[in-house]
Structure 1
Amino acid sequence: MKMRRLLGVGTALVMAIGAGHALAKEVSIGYVDGWSDSVATTNVAAEVIRQKLGYDVKLQAVATGIMWQGVATGKLDAMLSAWLPVTHGEYWTKNKDNVVDYGPNFKDAKIGLIVPEYVKASSLADLKTDDSFKKKIVGIDAGSGVMLKTDQAIKDYDLAGYKLQASSGAAMTAELGRAYAKQQSIAVTGWVPHWMFAKWKLKFLEDPKGVYGAAETVNSIGSKDLDKKAPEVAAFLKKFQWQSKDEIGEVMLAIQEGAKPEAAAKDWVAKHPERVAEWTGK
């Protein structure tokens, strides 16, 4: 009886230690729910970390500023949605001493005016003489970075009479889809990475005056403690990088068309074992 009790205590201790160890193998990653690229990238990375590195991953949807603050204070272990050097430049300046930059997971991020490939216009300057756009640019939320830059572009390219129509990301893509189906000219404010590039053949209008700035990178950022807490995760984040807008577009489009983010990520990971092996060696 005494031996059984001792064995029971021993088993309980082993289980407690095991449970403690399991809890220790958890990382938290912040993302911005309204950004399709943030949702896609974070869910794919989380799936790889779970499947190949054996960590539990807790995803937290937060606002941009809270995401940066969370990683800087160690309340979050990482984020994969830092637009640098310009868009999140202020956040970087404020938090750079308290975070670790693991480098870009997407290299050619940019904002600008986007049109279907079938339109003749190739530059922002072409809008001045092309009547097919009916002097309208379809925008997103008023006050967003790309909208402020578009107001500036209308001035700098002397697009007199052009009206920038504020709406939402969903309304903008709906209007783009309707125009595309009829092969009509349309100009919208947009960015890459975005699922619309996986759905339609689109192009950025050239911006020789540089109103929208140069291409940016989307970087993976870790807390100061991540390297010690989860060295395999830190090593993965250093290697994790999308090859192109089409690669991430595959995941973003699946989510846009109704797949749950976790299911879309699992599906992508299952279909691309060679890419996962490049990132993890497994």
Structure 2
Amino acid sequence: MQTVELVSYQSAWRATASRLLTRLKTTLAANLLASSHVGSTAMPQVLARPTIDLALLVTDAVTVVNQLNLTPVANAPHTYQASLDGVTVHLIILTNEAAYQQYLTFRDYLNAHRTDGRKYTAIRQTAAQDAASYLQTKAAFMASINDKARDWLSTKDQHEHHDRTVRAELVNMCLITNPQTGEVVVENKIDAQWSGLTFPGGHVDRGESQVAAMRREVLEETGLTVNQLKLVGTVTWVENDQGDVSLGTLYTTNDYSGELLAGSYEGAISWHPLSALTPAKMAPGIDAVLKVFTDPHLNEAFWGFDDNQLRVY
């Protein structure tokens, strides 16, 4: 079975993309209305296929394809392979401005929302084991994100004109303890950029209460129905230099029912002795979150953007 190669972000991609876009602007002249570096190589937080994607908004797509002698990429609409200055790239050639903007919005949304970026990586890692279904699986996730991304874009400029207003993505996490054994439910994340043991959690959907979201996420990820959730603190990730945050509520409970699932696309689920949870086994930063879960004198874990350090208060 053919697989898809995914690699960590390379800072050189940005400079290469900028250089190639400048060349295309000269080559295509008036036929090129707009262009941008898109796709996973333009997203530092996610794993990427090591081929740069460039989106081009043009007046005449057929002329561009013929002028650059492009080869269509199978199962990828509007996408062509090209060799520019010895670099193999994918050109996404569009004549519809809304379709062009969608690529930019998807990129900008995932760059501003680290949690969804991690999900994007996890889904693609799983799908990468089968190249035949990779594009279909990726497209399904992109479709699920596009509405959220458009909503985010529609309020982005409004927020940026208010100095004290930041965009906040609401997330949650739960420490579920077996009252007889003292073991806790953990998830062994398979994300190459954020791997290790963590606890069940996820997003708060639009119009959903924090507690309802926590119960739903636990049920989806673990198969357990939780009750008597106790709010014990928060965790905040500052996502970018504009101050946008992912704000997480932290809950504990030992009241649950159901059978624990074996796992999901994000990783295996199991019971684990609390005393055996060492920083080396946990996903980055989760050791600090665990302190908030277990120490009644702590209320918050805070991950700053400038120094990329997670602190507890």
Q: TM-score, normalised by structure 2?
A: 0.23
Q: TM-score, normalised by structure 1?
A: 0.24
Question: Per residue, is there more helix in 1 or in 2?
Answer: 1
- Structure with greater Cα Rg: 1
Q: Higher relative contact order at CA 8 Å, sep ≥6: structure 1 or structure 2?
A: 1
Question: Per residue, is there more strand in 1 or in 2?
Answer: 2
